[in-house]
Structure 1
Amino acid sequence: MSRNPHYIKMINSSRWRLLRAKKLRSSPICEVCEANGLSTLATEVHHKTPVESVAHELGMRQLMFDYSNLQSLCHACHSEMHRRAFSHSKESIQANNKRATQRFVDNFLNGEE
């Protein structure tokens, strides 16, 4: 799970819970399994473009709540997506830390001369 405070706030919001439920109601079958001829119940919602792929809160918010950026998946397919995307790899963690540092600089250090 992310340690980004903006992401944590958004993923725990009622707005996200309602959007997630709407996606699962409209697409109750795992989209990856279905593309492979299987019929597996979707239990998770995946962001096709990762929310934390942008450094600023507004961009994160746009990705988080963009219905067209969502994909209904079963747990196995969701785990595989993240494994293939290396979202928990050393490189990904370093990139997330770099974005967090940049947000700090933008919020607290820029403009102070």
Structure 2
Amino acid sequence: MAKDKDYIQLINTTRWKQLRKSILDAYPLCQRCQQEGRLTAAQEVHHIRPVEEAITYADKMQRMYDAHNLQALCHDCHVKTHTEQGRCGREATKKRNEKQVEQVIKKFFDEGEDEDRGPVF
């Protein structure tokens, strides 16, 4: 499970629980298994674009509640998907954290710089 405090807060809201239920009601079978020719009950809802990788809380909320960013999966496919995306284990967490630091720097510190004159205020 994600360790991002915003994600943990959002995943425990009534709004998320209702959206999760509506996705599982709409897609009772694992979407990945279906694509691979198997019929398996979906038990989990996967965020295609990870919520924890968004920088601002508003961006995290948008990803959390965007039905087009969700996929109904069985547990095995959910684990497989995260593993394939490199989102499991300490090394993946370290890389994710480094990438997020780079995104924050780019978003908040690189935007106003002019190569010749330095920061623009």
Do these two structures clear the TM 0.5 threshold for a shared fold by scoring above it? yes
Percent identical among aligned pairs is 36
Q: Distance in 2 between matches of 1:36 and 1:60?
A: 30
The answer (yes or no) to whether the contact 1:4–1:100 under 8 Å persists in 2 is: no
Q: Distance in 1 between matches of 2:87 and 2:36?
A: 24
One-letter code of the match for 1:12? N
Give matches, 1:51-90, under 5 Å.
Answer: 51-90=51-90
2:9 counterpart residue number: 9
Q: Distance in 2 between matches of 1:52 and 1:87?
A: 11
- Structure showing greater radius of gyration is 2
Name the count of aligned residue pairs: 104
Q: CA RMSD in A?
A: 2.0
1:109 counterpart residue number: none
Q: Distance in 1 between matches of 2:3 and 2:16?
A: 17
Gaps of 5+ in 1: 107-113
Q: Distance in 2 between matches of 1:95 and 1:57?
A: 21
Q: Distance in 2 between matches of 1:91 and 1:59?
A: 25
Deviation digits for residues 18-70 of structure 1, max 9, x if unmatched? 00000000000000111112110000000111111211111111000000100
Relative distance call for 1:13 and 1:100 in structure 2 (3 A) is farther
The answer (yes or no) to whether the contact 1:55–1:100 under 8 Å persists in 2 is: no
1:24 counterpart residue number: 24
Q: Distance in 2 between matches of 1:21 and 1:92?
A: 29
C-alpha deviation, 1:97, in angstroms: 3.2
One-letter code of the match for 1:44? E
1:94 counterpart residue number: 94
C-alpha deviation, 1:100, in angstroms: 6.9
Q: What secondary structure, in the 3-state scheme, does the structure 2 residue paired with 1:19 have?
A: helix
Q: Distance in 1 between matches of 2:3 and 2:34?
A: 32
The answer (yes or no) to whether the contact 1:44–1:78 under 8 Å persists in 2 is: yes
